Amino acid sequence: MIAPGYPAEMPRFARGLAEVGARVLGLGDQHESALGPELRRHLAAYQRVDSLWDEDAVMRELARWTSRVRFERVECLWEPGMMLAARIRELLGVPGLTVQETIPFRDKETMKTALDRAGIRTPRHARASTARQARDAAGEIGYPLIVKPIAGAGATDTYRVDDDRELDQALARVRHVPEISVEEFVEGDELTFDTICAEGRILYFNMCWYRPRPLEGKLKEWISPQAISLRDVDAPELAAGRQMGEAVLRALRFRDGFSHMEWYRKKDGEAVFGEIGARPPGARMVDLMNFGADVDTYRGWAEAVCHGRLSQDVRRRYNAAIVFKRAQGRGRIQRIEGLERLNRAIGSHLVVVDLLPIGAPRRDWIQAQISDGYVILRHPELAETLRMADLVGTDLQLFAD
């Protein structure tokens, strides 16, 4: 497993692997002492490298291992490590996504081009590495547009542009990005279609609804962004997205492990493809799935990739909402208001309250999706879930100074 200690969810996937009987060997750039006792207990061995991006050095370290150990799988659930994982798989001849199969998951233009060929509705799009190419693309696609990196994450360097002047402004801001995607701006709701697959079969899937759309939540600090894992995934308004999701996995020949697709639902119901990762979503969304059905998809994923099955009962019983909070003011957290009242009002539906403690410095809310903390709650009914999530948005406030 590459990068078993980072990001925060990775140790739980390592735990899952160990629990289903795998001997887990970790490869990462963290010092072993930084991994923590819990993770170390689940790793049969750990190899530290100075940098995961110095591939020659990584391969040299690996060679010392592979002379003694037979690797059956190479797993990486962290976006930046996907390509390294694919290279190692090819080197060792183990199953899983190859380099060629990984590229469409990493390069957003290759991704959409592959899906266009499969007849999937993507936003009109073009690749641009110069301002000239971007302006030509704008001329062809028409405003409003989205300008974003070919391999972006967390909506960084992503801009909506409505006219030539805004396009020039956006291009000036993304000058450090070597290649961009220029896309038709799609109006609508934004949702996910996430799966755990084995041998090309979908063993589990999840659909989340982002409120508001992620880009909007990234632009306005006062917003408490939400994601809602939906209980009724058979609702007619989700059918088009689910069908698209299944077609996308087939088109990209995704067979094993976690996938995370985002899609747009237009007012007229049409589903439009957003993006897909061959990995789970971040920002505690795996926990959100778990709370929706009282399952452990960390272990479920591990069982799927190691044994080709998922033996847990994955029936959904709740809608589960996560609400990210951002403190008012700069500096350190000084006080938290509204928590007692919330507890009295909806306490029995709150499952996680994980806020920065008093005195802690604020997190960078642009970089860190979890911002200054989050609350997870759940309820069998969607309307009630949304009402409570909104209450956490308005009535729980953190103050920094």
Ligand X SMILES: Nc1ncnc2c1ncn2[C@@H]1O[C@H](COP(=O)(O)OP(=O)(O)OP(=O)(O)O)[C@@H](O)[C@H]1O
Name the residues that contact Mg ion, by CB under 5 A: 262
Selected binder of ligand X within 32, 48, 61, 152 (CB under 6 A): 152
Q: Which of 42, 106, 148, 242 binds ligand X (CB under 6 A)?
A: 148
Q: Which is nearer to Mg ion, 75 or 262 (CB)?
A: 262
* Residue 131 vs 151, nearer CB to Mg ion: 151
When asked if residue 28 is in the footprint of ligand X (CB under 6 A), the reply is no
Decide: residue 268, CB within 10 A, 0-12 exposed, 13-18 middle, 19+ buried. exposed
Torsion of CA 294, 225, 266, 174, to 10 degrees: -120
Window of 12-20, 42-50, 208-216, 225-233 that interacts with ligand X by CB under 6 A = 208-216
Residue 273 within binding range of ligand X, rule CB under 6 A:
no
Tell me: does residue 107 bind ligand X (CB under 6 A): no
For residue 170, give the nearest of 193, 145, 202, 141 by alpha carbon. 145
Q: Is the separation of the CB atoms in 242 and 259 below 8 Å?
A: no
Q: Considering CB distances under 5 to 8 angstroms, the limit depending on partner class, which of Mg ion, ligand X, none binds residue 215?
A: ligand X
Q: How far is the CB of 106 from ligand X (least distance, A)?
A: 11
State both tokens at 111: 């991704």
Binding mask 372-401 for ligand X (x = CB under 6 A): ------------------------------
Q: Which residue has the tokens 């693309």?
A: 137
Query: Of these, 155, 219, 223, 386, which contacts ligand X (CB under 6 A)?
Result: 155
Which positions from 111 to 140 touch ligand X by CB under 6 A, shown as an x/- string? ------------x-----------------
CA atoms within 13 A on the CB side of 115: 27
**346, 332 Cβ separation under 8 angstroms:** no
Cβ 63 to ligand X shortest distance, Å: 34
- Tell me the per-residue interface mask from 233 to 252 with ligand X, x by CB under 6 A, - otherwise: --------------------
Segment lying near ligand X (by CB under 6 A), choices 38-46, 152-160, 234-242, 285-293: 152-160
Count of residues for the chain? Answer: 401
Q: Which does 393 bind (CB under 5 to 8 A by kind): ligand X, Mg ion, none?
A: none
Q: CB of 321: closest distance to ligand X in angstroms?
A: 18
Q: Which of 84, 181, 85, 94 is nearest to 141 (CA)?
A: 181
| Separation CA 309–CA 312 (nearest Å) | 9
The residue from 13, 46, 185, 365 that contacts ligand X (CB under 6 A) is 185
In angstroms, the CA 164 to CA 170 distance is: 10
Instruction: Round the CA-based radius of gyration of the chain to a whole number and report it.
Output: 21
Which amino acid, residue 209?
W
Q: Which residue among 73, 154, 189, 255 contacts ligand X (CB under 6 A)?
A: 154
Closest CA to 249 of 290, 195, 209: 195
Does 80 participate in binding ligand X (rule CB under 6 A)? no
- CA-wise closest residue to 359 among 401, 318, 396: 401
> Using CA atoms, how far apart are residues 159 and 358, in angstroms rounded to an integer?
34
The answer to whether 369 touches 282, Cβ cutoff 8 Å, is yes
Nearer to Mg ion, 148 or 231 (CB): 148
Residues forming the site for ligand X (CB under 6 A): 123, 146, 148, 152-155, 158, 183-186, 190, 213-215, 262, 274-275
